[in-house]
Amino acid sequence: MKQTFFIQIPLGLEKLAIHELRLKWPVVFPNKTCPEVFAEDGGFNIELLFEEACLLNHWLKIPNKILLRIASFKCRDFPKLYKKISAIDWKPYLGAQEFSFQITSIDSRLFDDRKIKNAIQGGIERYIQKSPIKKKFLEKTKEYDHWNLYMRIENDWCQLSLDISGERLGIRGYRKYVGLAPLRENLASACFYALTFDLEHSTEYNLIDPICGSGTLLSEALLFLRPNNLRNYAYQFLPCYESNLKPIDHQFEKHFEIYGFDKDKNQIEQFQKNLNELEEQGQDLDIIHTEVTDLYNAEEEIKLKYKENICIANLPYNKRIKNTEGNKKLICAIRDKYSPMKIGVIIPQTKTPPLIEGYEVSENLAFINGGFKVSFVIYRKPSS
């Protein structure tokens, strides 16, 4: 039986995330047509089998969460809310969870978060009194800590959703060491994908981050086409999850080699530690290389595998790290050193990115990283 899921996406990245779904679907679910999606701000709705939604947690790298819609109904008072909640068939979802509640109310009679939460909790308790939960499910759910229920009320229409991801999907379960201006992993994945998704399948290139810091952009590039089995997900601890769903490690063909450079030895060491951790967890690192190198050092000879280069970088923002050189100077240095077919840079949000001679702006993707409004600007050589 198909159910409705909401795939929650960072604002501004919705189209890219739908593109990612369409790229990966035929590989993850061969012989099944990718379902239609219904986009809205901050995500999209999609009808899926429960098992399909579970697997997508591992494969989709741009979303924040996958939510299962468990009930929707019109409601204007608390006694009715309590009644509606206690009438839901909670059996597939309920054990001994201590839920965190994410409540949103817009233009509705019910608006007091605390009272809404109490009514939901009361309704669930009532359900449990009527239908006690089996001991094995109490134990199973206790093994996991991140349980979230989402209640959205708009114009008195209530929509209750269960978060089947648990911790946000950007938490990959591997990175321990972060640099000065860390980028959220799912945003890093989105940047890598935005930069490369339109390349011909056979294009061979070096992906270079010349100021890689602890290497978030490059680690995400390495793992983008691999399922994330390095962490737990809430769905694995739900009563309705019985099968031992093991995401198959499909291999997408790879046509790129990854290079991470930074002038700061400590940053490269941190990146290397992250890579070592990934290797310990069974990830193949044969396409990734790191080196201490100053972007402005033109003397050094750097050996790269392929002819074409694509550069990606999170430029230092003035707010956290002093960017004395200025963005334009850094981008020009990247251009001069690597002559890349494309350059993708994260800079403070702007509608007028710096003009770079010999390149045109092909994309300016706006999103928020750690509270800062940023743009991922893609430059390309007009001919490529």
Ligand X SMILES: C[S@@+](CC[C@H](N)C(=O)[O-])C[C@H]1O[C@@H](n2cnc3c(N)ncnc32)[C@H](O)[C@@H]1O
Residues making contact with ligand X (CB under 6 A) = 179-183, 210-214, 216-217, 262-264, 267, 294-296, 314, 316, 321
Nearest distance in Å: CB 41, ligand X:
26
In the bound state with ligand X, the residue whose beta carbon lies nearer, of 152 and 337, is: 337
Nearest distance in Å: CB 32, ligand X:
36
Question: 138-145 long-range contacts, Cβ below 8 Å, gap at least 24?
Answer: 138/95, 138/96, 139/95, 139/96, 140/95, 140/237, 140/238, 140/239, 141/94, 141/95, 141/96, 141/97, 141/237, 141/238, 141/239, 142/95, 142/96, 143/237, 144/232, 144/234, 144/236, 144/237
Q: Where are the alpha helices (DSSP H) in the chain?
A: 14-28, 50-59, 78-86, 113-130, 135-142, 185-196, 216-223, 265-280, 327-338
- SS3 percent helix, strand, coil of the chain, rounded to 5, is 30, 25, 45
Nearest distance in Å: CB 144, ligand X:
28
Return the sign of the alpha-carbon dihedral for residues 237, 240, 243, 249: negative
φ/ψ region of 42 (left if φ > 0, alpha if ψ in -120 to 50, else beta) reads: left
From the list 272, 379, 294, the residue with the least C-alpha distance to 331 is: 379
In the bound state with ligand X, the residue whose beta carbon lies nearer, of 161 and 309, is: 309
Nearest distance in Å: CB 329, ligand X:
10
Phi, psi of 287 (to 5 degrees): -100, 5
Nearest distance in Å: CB 309, ligand X:
16
Nearest distance in Å: CB 337, ligand X:
10
8 Å CB contact between 202 and 260? no
Nearest distance in Å: CB 182, ligand X:
5
In the bound state with ligand X, the residue whose beta carbon lies nearer, of 326 and 358, is: 326
In the bound state with ligand X, the residue whose beta carbon lies nearer, of 303 and 307, is: 303
In the bound state with ligand X, the residue whose beta carbon lies nearer, of 159 and 267, is: 267
In the bound state with ligand X, the residue whose beta carbon lies nearer, of 131 and 318, is: 318
In the bound state with ligand X, the residue whose beta carbon lies nearer, of 371 and 382, is: 371
Nearest distance in Å: CB 215, ligand X:
6
Residues 6+ apart with CB under 8 A from 134: 239
Hey, how many other C-beta atoms are within 10 angstroms of the C-beta on 276?
A: 12
Nearest distance in Å: CB 134, ligand X:
45
At how many degrees (to 10) do helices 50-59 and 14-28 cross?
A: 110
8 Å CB contact between 77 and 119? no
Nearest distance in Å: CB 210, ligand X:
6
**Residue of minimal Cβ distance to ligand X:** 213
In the bound state with ligand X, the residue whose beta carbon lies nearer, of 141 and 349, is: 349
In the bound state with ligand X, the residue whose beta carbon lies nearer, of 282 and 371, is: 371
Compute the C-alpha angle 228/277/16, nearest 5°. 35
Hey, how many other C-beta atoms are within 10 angstroms of the C-beta on 264?
A: 15
In the bound state with ligand X, the residue whose beta carbon lies nearer, of 161 and 314, is: 314
> Distance between CA 161 and CA 70 in Å, rounded?
5
Hey, how many other C-beta atoms are within 10 angstroms of the C-beta on 100?
A: 12
